[in-house]
A and B are shown apart, each in its own frame.
Chain A
Amino acid sequence: MPLDIPAVRLTGIAPEIALCATALLLLVIDAVLGERRNRWYLPALASIGLGLSIYFATEAWGTTRLELSGMVAVDGFASFVKITLAVFGLLTVWLGRDFLVRERAEEGEFYGLVLFAVAGMMLMAGAADLIVVFLALETFSLALYVLVGFRRRSLLSQESSMKYFLLGSFSTAFFLLGIAFVYGAVGSTNLYGGEDGPGIVSSFMATGASDVGLLILAMGLLIVGLGFKVAAVPFHMWTPDAYQGAPSPVTGFMAAGSKIAGFAALLRLLDVTLYPLREDWRPLVIGVAVLTMVVGSVLAVVQEDVKRLLAYSSIAHAGFVFTGLIAANDRGVSGSLFYLATYGITVLGAFAVVAVLSGRDDEKVTLRDYRGLFYDRPLLAGALTLFLLSLAGVPVTSGFVAKLVVFGAAIQEGYWWLAVVGMVTSAIAAFFYLKVLVVMYMQEKETEDAERVRSGPLSTGVIGLAALATIVLGLYWGPLIDVAERATLFFAGG
């Protein structure tokens, strides 16, 4: 009896395929050509792959359907997240190139792993089945564990890789248990359901409401697993250590990419599939959101290491995105998307500056090293100022608009007090961003640098682009918000 092969349409995963194929090609080319002094072709190839994936993602814009036996959703939401991720990937590759050349550790595997990680994250955005979500999660997590430990000479890097790996495996175990419980509760793992089988909610409705306890338990476990990836409190313990030890370009990529991928899965899971049960999950998520905002902002105040400071800031930002998620309306979803896109670009820019300033072996990252930076390197200091102001949510920057949108969505749903918590914690957060500014502008430099690391052309380009985007999106936010809103229009899919 022949096998019934289902219709294989690849629009949904074409970007991922492009990335994986490029990554494999890149690894082979690197192995064949061997150790050359200047391996410019590697980042070039990686950029081409990412460019291709942007092309494929825009091609899919406008279609809305389930593909590959209901495993992948092709919709505007997925396309938006994929394009954003590809942009993050491009910035990371360029930053990484400068970093690797400086560290004399250029290896094809770096680009390969970045591409694989981006592919995994993209798959998270399109996944329409919990099994695919899990596999995508594992794919990009594994790549990130290795990238965090990429500075093999540095014990700190090794240590943070180990910590991230152990805690990460632990959290994926929770996620997997959650999937098992979902399956146990309703007999399906599909987020939408269709002709290939029922979805989670439709099976749930079919079995009757008696099993709601099990489903809630499962939901909690899934939130633990994804909450870990977006660095939500109380699953944030790994964040400062991993951010501190990772090579700075990788840290920026983790902050931007891992967050948007995790939230993409959370948004699809909670705001689409489990929307009918929103009254059941909201209390839990609200608790997580409040804790995340407060803990992230308060603990950031006492940090002396710029990378750790940005790590706590990224925790706080996860909390702000949660307010948009909790609102669970169109504005909330599009606001979250806008927030994640702008935050990602800003934080990549900030880590680009950190990467340039930290010098060889990524060492000079304490606040002391930033004393009097403005007088030493005014342009870098100016760019960092802009990024920090955007992270703080000061008007005329993209961060301000982003906060406005998500808080607005929360107020629209009647969660005005959540918005108030967000604003108060933003004010606390502004304090430590200002602390960095004070150090840069108002303190004297202590010692002269023995060796001053120049910003490479690619790093300069990345910083310039990020700065430009931060300002432009702070002034003309309209187009991007429009796109994000249209992304949510056909988001509900099936």
Chain B
Amino acid sequence: MSIDVAVFGVMFVVVLGSSIAMLFARNAVHVALFLVVTQIGLAVAFLLEGAYFIAAIQIIVYAGAIMVLFLFVIMLLGVDRREALNEPLRGQRPLAVGLAALLAAEVLYVAYKGSDLITTGGGSQALQDLNADPGNVKALARVVFSRYLLPFEVTSILLVVAVVGVMVLARQMSAISPVSARSGSSVADKEEAA
């Protein structure tokens, strides 16, 4: 048994176990933690595939930034209690089960079809060749900055729009007093007031 298989086995158990545990955890913080474990496990999966860059980004962006913000919000808003479970839509549970089954069937179908594609299209072999020369990071950079140049740049515009939008929605309407606007320390003011 090679080390790869052993690592894959551990990763598989960890990812599956923590995502199932995530569904049944009752505490919001625990849910977030299980999600973090899942993300890290997925990063290991990427490592096994030889996709080093994606693995690092998976940890930095998802496990390191997004999930920390989740935790931040959960802790700041104190929603770590169980929500009251009155459901306005009747019959949504059986419906959800049905749709989930449908989705699972879809995923299985795609996975089944996908294995054909990988064997014919040479997915993992192509990746291994790229990793050997010119290397994972460089190969990725080459694609992003040549073929996918436009999508890459449009993404930056998309992010600018998101930032401007958040600024508009989060700004208090005419509540910006001259003092705090100048010194830029409204956060500290609020903390002290509280």
Say if A and B assemble together: yes
Interface positions of A (Cβ within 8 A of B):
1, 3-6, 8, 13, 20, 24, 27, 68-69, 71-72, 105, 107, 109, 112-113, 116, 119-120, 123, 129, 131-132, 135-136, 138-139, 142-143, 145-146, 149-150, 152-153, 161, 181, 184-185, 187, 196-197, 211, 214, 217
Taking the closest CB of chain A, its distance from the CB of B174, in whole angstroms, is: 9
- Complex Cα gap A142–B154 (Å): 13
Taking the closest CB of chain B, its distance from the CB of A331, in whole angstroms, is: 32
Cβ-based interface call for B26 (8 A): no
B165 and A211 form a contact (CB under 8 A): no
B158 and A113 form a contact (CB under 8 A): no
B142 and A211 form a contact (CB under 8 A): no
- Given A150-B168, A214-B113, A3:B142 Cβ within 8 A: yes
Which residues on the A side are within 8 Å of B75 (C-beta)? none
Cβ-based interface call for B194 (8 A): no
A4 and B173 form a contact (CB under 8 A): no
- Given A109-B168, A135-B155, A150-B168, A69:B146 Cβ within 8 A: yes
Cβ-based interface call for B151 (8 A): yes
Which residues on the A side are within 8 Å of B61 (C-beta)? none
- Given A107-B168, A150-B168, A184-B113, A71:B106 Cβ within 8 A: no
B150 and A119 form a contact (CB under 8 A): no
Cβ-based interface call for B110 (8 A): yes
- Complex Cα gap A68–B141 (Å): 16
Cβ-based interface call for B190 (8 A): no
A116 and B146 form a contact (CB under 8 A): no
- Complex Cα gap A13–B154 (Å): 11
Which residues on the A side are within 8 Å of B137 (C-beta)? none
CB contact between B165 and one of A4, A135, A145 (< 8 Å): that residue? A145
Interface majority SS (helix, strand, loop, mixed), chain B? helix
Which residues on the A side are within 8 Å of B141 (C-beta)? 3
A1 and B134 form a contact (CB under 8 A): yes
- Complex Cα gap A150–B147 (Å): 37
Interface majority SS (helix, strand, loop, mixed), chain A? helix
B161 and A142 form a contact (CB under 8 A): yes
Cβ-based interface call for B145 (8 A): yes
B157 and A119 form a contact (CB under 8 A): yes
B146 and A3 form a contact (CB under 8 A): yes
Taking the closest CB of chain A, its distance from the CB of B146, in whole angstroms, is: 5
Q: Can you report 27 A-B residue pairs in the complex whose CB atoms are below 8 A from each other?
A: A1-B134, A3-B145, A3-B146, A5-B145, A5-B146, A6-B147, A69-B146, A69-B148, A69-B149, A71-B148, A71-B151, A112-B164, A116-B157, A129-B151, A131-B148, A132-B150, A135-B158, A136-B154, A139-B154, A143-B165, A146-B164, A146-B165, A146-B169, A150-B168, A161-B169, A214-B109, A214-B113
- Complex Cα gap A187–B118 (Å): 10
- Complex Cα gap A136–B158 (Å): 8
The 0/1 profile, CB within 8 Å of A marked 1, for residues 162-178 of chain B is 10110111000100000
- Complex Cα gap A116–B150 (Å): 16
Which residues on the B side are within 8 Å of A107 (C-beta)? 168
Which of B121, B141, B165, B167 has the most chain A CB within a 10 Å cutoff? B165
- Given A135-B154, A211-B113, A68:B149 Cβ within 8 A: yes
Cβ-based interface call for B17 (8 A): no
- Complex Cα gap A139–B168 (Å): 16
CB contact between A187 and one of B121, B142, B150 (< 8 Å): that residue? B121
A116 and B160 form a contact (CB under 8 A): yes
B146 and A138 form a contact (CB under 8 A): no
Which of B109, B147, B150, B157 has the most chain A CB within a 10 Å cutoff? B150
